Amino acid sequence: GATGSSQLEKEISTTESVNNANEHYYGLVNFGNTCYCNSVIQALFFCRPFREKVLNYKQTLKKSGASKDNLVTCLADLFHSIASQKRRVGTIAPKRFITKLKKENELFDNYMQQDAHEFFNYLINTISETLIQEKIAEREKASRHGTLKKGNVTVNLAPATAGLPRSDEKGTSERNGGITVEGNEFLNKSDTTTWIHEIFQGILTNETRCLSCETVSSKDEDFLDLSIDVEQNTSISHCLRVFSETETLCGDQKYFCETCSSKQEAQKRMRIKKPPQLLALHLKRFKFVEPLNRHTKLSYRVVFPLELRLFNVSDDAEYGDRMYDLVATVVHCGATPNRGHYITLVKSNSFWLVFDDDIVEKLEVSSMEEFSGMSTDANIQMPPGNQSAPQKNSESAYILFYQARDYAADDPNHNHKGKNSTHSV
Amino acid sequence: MHQHMLGPSTSLGGTNNSALQSSVLSEGVLLSHSQPTREEIKKNFETREGVYRSVPSAEFSRPRPLPQYHMPPGIASAAASQIAAAGSTVRVSFLNGAEKSVESPEAVAPTSSTYEHHKNEPNGARIDMVDEAQADKICFNVGKELYVFSYRGTQTETDLSRPIDKRVYKGTSPTYHAFNQESAKNGSCQLLIGFTLGQLQIIDPLEKSSSSPFSRLYNEDRYIEKTSVTCIRWLPGDSNIFLASYVSGNLYVYDQRISAASSNNNGSSQPPPWTIHKEGDKFAIHTWKGKVQRNPVTRWQIGEGSIHQFSFSGSDGKMMATVSHDGFLRIFNYHAQELLAVMKSYFGGLLTLSWSPDAKLIATGGEDDLLTVYSVAEKRVVCRGQAHKSWVSQVKFDPYLCTTEEDLENNGIAMTSTFDDVAKDFSIRSGPVPSTSADLNSGVMNATSTFSRCSLASFNTINGAPAGNSVRYRIGSVGHDTFLCLWDITEDMLNQGNIRRHRNSTIIAPMTTLEVQTNSLVGRLEDLQEVSPGGAGVNASSDSQSITNNHTTPRPEKQKKKKFTKRLGFSKFTSGSSSATSNPVGGHKIGTLMNGASVNSESSKKQNPGLISQISCCNETRMLGSKFCPGIRDVPMIEPLMCKKVSHDRLTVLEFREDCVVTACQEGYICTWGRPGRYQPKRDCINSPGTASPESGQKPSGSTSAMTSSYGYGSDALNGVPPSRSSSTYSNSEQQLRSPNITSPSYRVSAASTSVYHRPTYAWQNAN
């Protein structure tokens, strides 16, 4: 309520350095089980590159004078209304966005609890689709006028990728890409790369070695986020290493080797070849248990550092050792997937905040570890009367957003160090 | 703008992406099926030197059954234990009791044969109640509770219902504690405790008679500091000075001789008026301006965020090292108040550190799941170790299994000269010094320890292992992953010239099937280095340096990269850490540059502190590849000697003691692991050839001590023989503890619980 937000206002004004007094912390009203949506929106709002692109989108739209009504514009309007508030803290009702979301996708058109990760995927894919369609429309318009703007599109080509031969079937088109500027191919490339890809997209390389002929083939795949298996009492870096562990394909999993022209046993592993600028890690905490015929939640304790480097990068990875900073975390609270709640932890300037729908509170960095999950399974067998205690402990990180530090350094608005005022007493 | 990759034929619509998602998913499932997820908890583990066995009789926990406990109404016991587990970290501290008779003849002339003898030593020796006062003491905290018990290593027969002291606090929980080893004497000692709300308390758990229990409080009203205590230490060599570090990044120095209450005397609720005494790169030292001495005497502000642990260097205590949330290890000259060196974690906060017994090395552990060994003298990272599956919560050098250069020099003496000479040599070496109870190396124990080292060294030779005449360090680490790892750092790892070799010989080879291929990499590495100046085989590491240094410059295309990867073929799977060597020259250059920068900042900081923070800020982003934070391939990555799951819950404590290793986990279980030959399970366990025979179990104690007398580990407590306490080492220990006149007004006896606990329940008046 009002007293809570004024309390927060006081707190942030005492801790904040002067040059970053521009941030707005607005809780989002829950329209009946919409915390899955609120939590992801808050996390994305505090992923600065994403926010700026969304706000930018609104501005360009305004300039062009076009009036559109899609999910992206709704999101842009929501972001804009938060960012342009007079007061630093408060609550806002994302009504238009929710209405649009429910209209666009029937999956979300109910009052049931949804999966925050599914919503995240849907949102960024919808945005990129929308942007691609707009690009294509613009290109058609432009080519009709015969004024193809080359500059706009070539800037998106990554020099390291271009001309780098790939062994996969997509490689043919890739090799030509960026060098030949020829009709459709060129346009496809630029059209399908949006700022969503700029921000979230990384490349996995899938290396397979046939155990019979020793031929190694590698195949690259793009990703916008990584879904990671979790284990009890581990760290996110360990889970990522397990993700990239070598596995042997045998039995009915055998691999078709093109050199041998037959199915062979093989070793394969998948490592990160290009770490994205914003690394979204989805912890697979909802596991389908066949005997129960339903999903259960793995509340395993998986610790996540505020700083991260990847161990599971391929040898030829670029930016392989780039440093990431945790900027936002979507947390699932509750013991089961279907009931429960989502909240978001967000780093803004030098401090952390919890966004719990319309409630915003400051969070001590030292208590971040409490959102790692439960270290023992003991309380699953707890008598029903004691639900309160374990309930609290089952608050566990579900989606982690790590932003590359080198990227943040380019961003004049983002003070990634942020904390250097500590000693200027 | 930044380069970014274009997806091949990217129709990155929802469908395409979800297809990728599901493929990722199925692989994950496949993985988890192929591996057993649950690993059983080990009751013993084997290393080079033998088998360590869990000692069931020496297991501590909060007394059971739980319902005995008077928990706050409405919370059932199970839930309460959950709360405890979620609360402050479980810690263990020891008070080394009566002097372990340095002059006892047992310690002389250790030979390997006596080691064998020792295996037949009877276990379960009778423990006299008279011995109680002389026994070591163990203190641990679980949730809001604090316990003190007698401790006899592998000979411990725990009666959980009979603690020496137990306390339950209200509103605040103990987070760290340390016995004042130097002031301890028969029947009294000082136990310093830090709390979640920032208070500090000194109690005497041994004092039984007094009606007003000894207790002294610091920061009682929380005016000094409001955050949680993270670590406390007594200053080595001074039984009056203690230090406490906090989540806020402050570290306070207290002097017992100054009245505890004086900080509140001005009656104001304002924080004390500190003035800057000294300032450096990311640290500042504050003192009082006034003439009247007040507690705390000094405040150090170090780094950014919580100081997770700090520790004084081995025998002389001249240096103090801290590890912080900001990922930095900082090494100070404590008395000169100067920053000597810094090191940065690979990523994330550093949680723990330990000095080697000779103070030449520091081991750290933290949120990068790595063990990092840092050479204090050479100011460089020696190696990293990767084995833990989660954060490393505690690292410790095992002083009994470290062979330092000094040991090697002294070894000759030990073998040829009389005991007295050695003892003298010792008192010179370890000086009048230091025994922080948290660090096991008390001056006295050091003496014993070297003998054991000697014995182990010779033991090694007998067994054909590398001879005992080379430097070797043993490090243990425990983590949030519930695993205990042991690591050996050998002389050739320490030798900087050998790094290259090590890259190819000691790197982790996760796929054993491919291990053979590692050697073949040597040639390739050479090739690569020759090529790299030409730019063709530019490697990842040096690339990233150029990126971080100048990331706006568009990078040249590297067409040959792919080719080279192909050439390496699958061997790169094995060689994770070796195939792309960074250019060592480049790394050093940066290191030197960095040094220059920090020197500059040292000199210019007084004029422009703002500039400094800017410089150090820049430093940090460019740090990778420098000596402060070498790239992952710039230093050897070592494998542990041993890595075992020893607990259900995350481990928080690791202590090496003379006859055992002690671990503790967040659930509040403290386990003792008998060192090889120092503990045999009771007769019904017949799983090892060296099991004690019934006869040996009934041997009169006289013959037992005779048998052990020639054994290096010799300990009196072990055989139930009251040790003679004529050593002069502790002669100055009586001065303290004579001021019990502090009546603590903030302590309020809670009548309800007096019947349950030996001591009343205390509450902090200002707790909130």
Res B732 pLDDT > 50: no
Residue A322 to residue B544, Cβ atoms within 8 A: yes
Instruction: Tell which B residues from 664 to 723 touch A, by Cβ distance under 8 Å.
Output: 666-667
Catalytic residue (one of A35, A210, A239, A333): A35
Q: Is B32 on the interface with A (CB under 8 A)?
A: yes
Res B393 pLDDT > 70: yes
Residue B367 to residue A303, Cβ atoms within 8 A: yes
Range with lowest mean pLDDT among A407-411, B446-450, B661-665, B748-752 = B748-752
Across A20-24, B255-259, B475-479, the highest mean pLDDT is recorded for B475-479
Residue B570 to residue A207, Cβ atoms within 8 A: yes
The residue in chain A having the minimum alpha-carbon distance to the alpha carbon of residue B667 is A376
What b/e string do you get for B502-539 counting C-beta neighbours within 10 Å, with b at 16 or more?
bbbebbbbebeebeebbeebeebbeebbeebeeeebbb
What's the rounded Cα separation, in Å, for the pair B282 and B302?
A: 6
The residues facing B320 across adjacent strands are: B312, B332
Q: Is B406 on the interface with A (CB under 8 A)?
A: no
Residue B34 to residue A243, Cβ atoms within 8 A: no
Range with lowest mean pLDDT among B52-56, B341-345, B657-661, B744-748 = B744-748
Residue A191 CA: distances (Å) to CA of A108, A233, B462, B572: 28, 43, 72, 36
Strand B50-54's sheet: what is its strand order?
B44-47, B50-54, B670-674, B660-665, B651-656
Instruction: Mention every residue, 6+ apart, whose C-beta is less than 8 A from residue B458.
Output: B110, B111, B112, B468
Of A160, A216, A243, the CB nearest to B28: A243
B568: which chain A residues are within 8 Å (Cβ-Cβ)? 315
Res B516 pLDDT > 60: no
Q: Kindly state the average pLDDT of the residues A340-346.
A: 94
Higher pLDDT, B767 or A200: A200
Residue A303 to residue B649, Cβ atoms within 8 A: no
A115: which chain B residues are within 8 Å (Cβ-Cβ)? none
In the prediction, which pLDDT does A81 show? 94
Closest CA to B102 of B454, B432, B424, B456: B424
Interface probe, candidates A174, A315, A381, chain B, greatest B C-beta count within 10 A: A315
A326: which chain B residues are within 8 Å (Cβ-Cβ)? none
Does the active-site annotation cover A197?
Answer: no
Q: Is B562 on the interface with A (CB under 8 A)?
A: yes
What's the rounded Cα separation, in Å, for the pair B556 and B378?
A: 36
- How much of chain A exceeds pLDDT 90, in percent? 53
* DSSP alpha helix (H) spans, A313-369: none
Residue A59, number of CB atoms within 10 A of its CB? 11
Type of residue at A98: I
What's the rounded Cα separation, in Å, for the pair A151 and A155?
A: 6
Does the active-site annotation cover A341?
Answer: yes
Q: Is B249 on the interface with A (CB under 8 A)?
A: yes
> Residue B390's pLDDT band (boundaries 50, 70, 90)?
very high
Res B720 pLDDT > 90: no
* Residues B580 and B541 sit within 8 Å (Cβ to Cβ): yes
* DSSP alpha helix (H) spans, A146-256: 150-154, 171-176, 183-192, 195-200, 236-243
In the prediction, which pLDDT does B261 show? 53
Instruction: Please write the tens of the pLDDT for every residue from A402-412.
Output: 999 986 554 44
What's the rounded Cα separation, in Å, for the pair B760 and B757?
A: 6
Interface probe, candidates B1, B2, B6, B628, chain A, greatest A C-beta count within 10 A: B6
Res B343 pLDDT > 80: yes
Higher pLDDT, B194 or B587: B194
DSSP state of B357: T
B326: which chain A residues are within 8 Å (Cβ-Cβ)? 419
- How much of chain B exceeds pLDDT 90, in percent? 34
- Strand runs (DSSP E) across A247-318, as ranges? 247-249, 255-257, 262-264, 266-274, 278-284, 286-289, 294-297, 302-303, 307-308
Res B459 pLDDT > 70: no
What's the rounded Cα separation, in Å, for the pair A405 and A49?
A: 12
> Residue B544's pLDDT band (boundaries 50, 70, 90)?
very low
A161: which chain B residues are within 8 Å (Cβ-Cβ)? 3, 5-6
Instruction: Mention every residue, 6+ apart, whose C-beta is less than 8 A from residue B275.
Output: B286, B287, B288, B289
Residue B543 to residue A269, Cβ atoms within 8 A: no
> Residue A391's pLDDT band (boundaries 50, 70, 90)?
very low
Instruction: Tell which B residues from 471 to 530 touch A, by Cβ distance under 8 Å.
Output: 480-482, 510-511
Structure tokens at B374: 């840092």
Structure tokens at A386: 């004691």
What is the Cβ-side half-sphere exposure of residue B327, based on CA atoms within 13 angstroms? 22
What's the rounded Cα separation, in Å, for the pair B477 and B343?
A: 19
Residue B73, number of CB atoms within 10 A of its CB? 5
Closest CA to B204 of B231, B224, B182, B179: B179
* Residues B336 and B348 sit within 8 Å (Cβ to Cβ): no
Structure tokens at A165: 């031969």
In the prediction, which pLDDT does A360 show? 94
What would the DSSP string read from start to end of B394-424? EEEE-GGG-B-HHHHHHHHHHHHS-HHHHHH
**CB-based burial label for B717 (10 Å; 0-12, 13-18, 19+):** buried
H/E element holding A310? none
In the prediction, which pLDDT does B52 show? 94
Res B299 pLDDT > 80: yes
Across A295-299, B449-453, B587-591, B606-610, the highest mean pLDDT is recorded for A295-299
Instruction: Mention every residue, 6+ apart, whose C-beta is less than 8 A from residue A26.
Output: A82, A85, A89, A90, A91, A92, A360
The residue in chain B having the minimum alpha-carbon distance to the alpha carbon of residue A381 is B78
DSSP state of B533: G
Give the sign of the dihedral formed by CA B506, CA B509, CA B515, CA B521.
negative
- How much of chain A exceeds pLDDT 70, in percent? 78
In the prediction, which pLDDT does A21 show? 61
Residue A233 to residue B389, Cβ atoms within 8 A: yes
pTM above 0.80, yes or no: no
What is the Cβ-side half-sphere exposure of residue A174, based on CA atoms within 13 angstroms? 23
Q: Kindly state the average pLDDT of the residues B4-19.
A: 33
> Residue B590's pLDDT band (boundaries 50, 70, 90)?
very low
C-alpha dihedral, B727 to B730 to B733 to B734, nearest 10°: 0
In the prediction, which pLDDT does A377 show? 57
What would the DSSP string read from start to end of B421-486? HHHHHHHHHHTT---BSSSS--HHHHHHHHHHHHHHHHHHHHTTSSPTTS-EEEEEEEETTSEEEE
Closest CA to B248 of A422, A9, A307: A422
Catalytic residue (one of A197, A282, A332, A341): A341
Res B554 pLDDT > 70: no
- ipTM associated with this complex: 0.84
Higher pLDDT, A71 or B693: A71
Secondary-structure percent of chain A, ordered helix, strand, coil, rounded to 5: 40, 25, 35
What would the DSSP string read from start to end of A192-217? H--HHHHHH-EEEEEEEEETTT--EE
Instruction: Please write the tens of the pLDDT for every residue from B192-235.
Output: 999 999 999 999 998 877 677 788 999 988 889 999 999 999 99
> Residue B680's pLDDT band (boundaries 50, 70, 90)?
confident
Q: Kindly state the average pLDDT of the residues B343-361.
A: 95
Give the sign of the dihedral formed by CA A88, CA A93, CA A94, CA A96.
negative
User: What is the residue-averaged pLDDT of chain B?
Assistant: 65
Interface probe, candidates B26, B227, B347, B649, chain A, greatest A C-beta count within 10 A: B347
Q: Is B650 on the interface with A (CB under 8 A)?
A: yes
Closest CA to B540 of A91, A274, A355: A274
Strand B200-203's sheet: what is its strand order?
B174-179, B191-195, B200-203, B215-218
H/E element holding B602? helix B584-604
Across A137-141, A200-204, B152-156, B590-594, the highest mean pLDDT is recorded for A200-204
Higher pLDDT, A382 or A259: A259
Type of residue at B572: K
* Residues B451 and B107 sit within 8 Å (Cβ to Cβ): yes
DSSP state of B71: P
Residue B314 CA: distances (Å) to CA of A250, B231, B332, B440: 54, 17, 14, 10
Across A153-162, A190-199, A305-314, A363-372, the highest mean pLDDT is recorded for A305-314
Residue B577 CA: distances (Å) to CA of A132, A256, B363, B572: 40, 30, 21, 9
What's the rounded Cα separation, in Å, for the pair B122 and B694?
A: 8
What's the rounded Cα separation, in Å, for the pair A63 and B202?
A: 69
Res A274 pLDDT > 80: yes
Of A164, A267, A301, the CB nearest to B559: A164
Type of residue at B642: M
Residue B539 CA: distances (Å) to CA of B384, B520, B557, B564: 21, 19, 13, 10
Higher pLDDT, B135 or B644: B644
* Preceding peptide of B296 cis, ω within 30°: yes
> Residue B355's pLDDT band (boundaries 50, 70, 90)?
very high
